[in-house]
Copies of this chain bind each other. A is one copy, B any other.
């Protein structure tokens, strides 16, 4: 069982995360350096890695927390009546993930849990987003020939694709939402 967590552990961890948040707020996620975080938190480098498995683990928390807050808002919506509706409530999420290439890279890297024992924040938010979508699909005007689970998976897939293309010069000109709009019309409202 071992001993209980000491007070200073929580304090050090809080210092590290606070320092990291400040750096991200000032210079963006990509600019974050572990050495800068530990310097700002006035602890040694080794301490960082005693608290976080690696740099990505910290990013998982920072980015995951942000997404979680956005999902809190999204959860307030109980019903969607159109694709436009759906896109409107998804907009903040799209905006955040496409706001910095590095965020999207980390998101993709950590979106799938590689081992059962370490399902990170970001992976959890994806699952949570999925459940929210399934809830919204239950009482919606969209196609009924496939399960709400599958509808949700498709929406997520198209969201990620739309964001990915927003970073690609070959597909610029269209913004994320209008591209997603085309996808979701075809996915949710097939005319045949």
Chain A interface, DSSP helix/strand/loop, else mixed: helix
- B residues within 8 A CB of A160? 157, 160-161
Query: A192's contact among B143, B150, B153, B186, by CB below 8 Å, is which?
Result: B143
Q: Does A148 contact B (CB under 8 A)?
A: no
For chain A, the bracket of interface size reads 35 or more
User: Which residue from B112, B150, B156, B161 sits with its C-beta under 8 Å from A167?
Assistant: B112
Q: Is A25 an interface residue (CB 8 A)?
A: no
Report which A residues bind B (CB closer than 8 A): 101, 105, 108-109, 111-116, 119, 123, 127, 143-146, 150, 153-154, 156-158, 160-161, 164-165, 167-171, 182-183, 186-187, 190-192
A selection of 13 A-B contacts at a CB cut-off of 8 Å is A105-B108, A112-B169, A114-B167, A119-B169, A143-B190, A143-B192, A144-B192, A145-B190, A150-B183, A153-B183, A154-B187, A157-B157, A190-B190
